[in-house]
Chain A
């Protein structure tokens, strides 16, 4: 079936560097995408979302880019901090009135001081 996946299971960066976490999706009908951050032992925390009618959306230190041509989603974190260390999940909306999300496997981001 169609699913959301991630290119890199782990990413290690130096504090202050920019981080880029990638996600591939295969459902061309998906029209909503979302990134979550999950710290160890906690529930996922909403970071940023984007609809398919947009290519880019910026938040505080984070930017999400959507390339519908190649079905690719990325999360950019500027000036990465130790507190950014976590697992990051992308998810897509399958459509329909129940608003179910399909989640990728996650990328572990480790920030080295």
Chain B
């Protein structure tokens, strides 16, 4: 069966510090990968998606970037965090040629 991991689970960072969140998927190959942000009490906002290694599409202009160095690894980064970057970050995967997305446990980021 497939599993998706995210780490760290929680993170407290000062404004202006860098960020690296990691997501890995097991039990599948060549998945589509997604990064979402969820503000408190709000819906999910798609940030980035990837259909393959090195292929990243950005959905919203922002302070964040994403990379996919390996087939089942998706990384969310920032060079300098802003207060507005605080939120719950979710990684998801979907099988190739299917719409159903499966989510990881999420990373809660607090920027102070």
A-B CB contacts (within 8 Å), total count: 52
| Binary A-proximity of B40-51 (CB < 8 A = 1, otherwise 0) | 001110100101
A49 to chain B: which residues have CB within 8 Å?
99-100
A61 at the interface (CB under 8 A from B): no
Establish whether residues A43 and B43, one from each chain, have CB atoms under 8 Å apart when the complex forms. no
B46 touches A100 (CB 8 A): yes
Q: Does B103 contact A (CB under 8 A)?
A: yes
Contact A103 B57 (CB under 8 A): no
Q: Which of B6, B34, B42 contacts A105 (CB 8 A)?
A: B42
Q: Is A13 an interface residue (CB 8 A)?
A: no
Contact across chains for B99 and A93 when beta carbons are under 8 A apart: yes
A104 proximity list for chain B (CB < 8 A): 43
Interface residues in chain B, defined as those with a beta carbon under 8 Å from any beta carbon in chain A: 6, 32, 34, 42-44, 46, 49, 51, 57, 90, 92, 94, 97-106, 108
Q: Chain A residues in contact with chain B, CB under 8 A?
A: 32, 34, 36, 41-46, 49, 89, 93, 97-101, 103-106
